[in-house]
Amino acid sequence: MMLVEQTTVPSEALPVAEFKDHLRLGTGFADDGVQDTVLESYLRASMAAIEARTGKVLIARDYSWTLTGWRELSRQALPVAPVTEIAEVKVIDRHGAETVIDPERYRLEADAQRPRIVSTGLHLPLIPVHGSVEVQFTAGFGPDWQALPADVGQAVFLLAAHYYENRAAMIAGETPMPFGVSLLIDRYRTVRLFGEGAR
């Protein structure tokens, strides 16, 4: 299985000004924007850590997911949530020849924890021996910061502030997730039962 992020969060979607307020940094100075790039990097690091911990994509991006076999013939859990659209499914044979699957043959089963691609017939497209299937989809709470649940947004700010205030420890790789951040995001973590998940 291979999950590849096709697009990134644009800088304008990140709440750098609000993060400055959260940190209570001074304003009105000639060099107000001098730390913007650094603050943006901490916001991105915080978002990445929370996404890795929860399996949730915060701000919408496009993904390409390649796998060599379906876990179930009629449905397959997608690797992240929430998924808003399946753009394309294509089967690739051992020689690299691609076949785009008719969208009428599958649908998205939306779910906050385990969204799935589901066959509208008896089974999902058959994957040839030594071949693979590639699913193109969009995932995320929404296109910008305002779409995030308030507690997730607060967790991002708290963790980014922790990184900012403990820069030396972060460089050394010694920054465990603060307990308060874990409390805020625990309910968003995906619980996998009986081996369910992506192959």
Q: What is the pLDDT of residues 27-65, one digit of tens each?
A: 544 455 668 899 999 999 999 999 999 999 999 999 999
pTM for the full predicted model: 0.86
The residue extents of the domains of the chain are 19-58+147-188, 61-139
- SS3 (DSSP) at 64: strand
pLDDT range class, residue 26, cuts 50, 70, 90: low
Locate all alpha helices (DSSP H) within 33-125, ordered by sequence: 36-54
Q: What is the pLDDT of residues 127-157, one digit of tens each?
A: 999 999 999 999 999 999 999 999 999 999 9
Q: What is the DSSP letter of 76?
A: E
Distance (Å, whole) CA 52 – CA 30? 37
Q: Is 51 left (phi over 0), alpha (psi -120 to 50) or beta?
A: alpha
Half-sphere exposure for 143 (CA within 13 Å, toward CB): 1
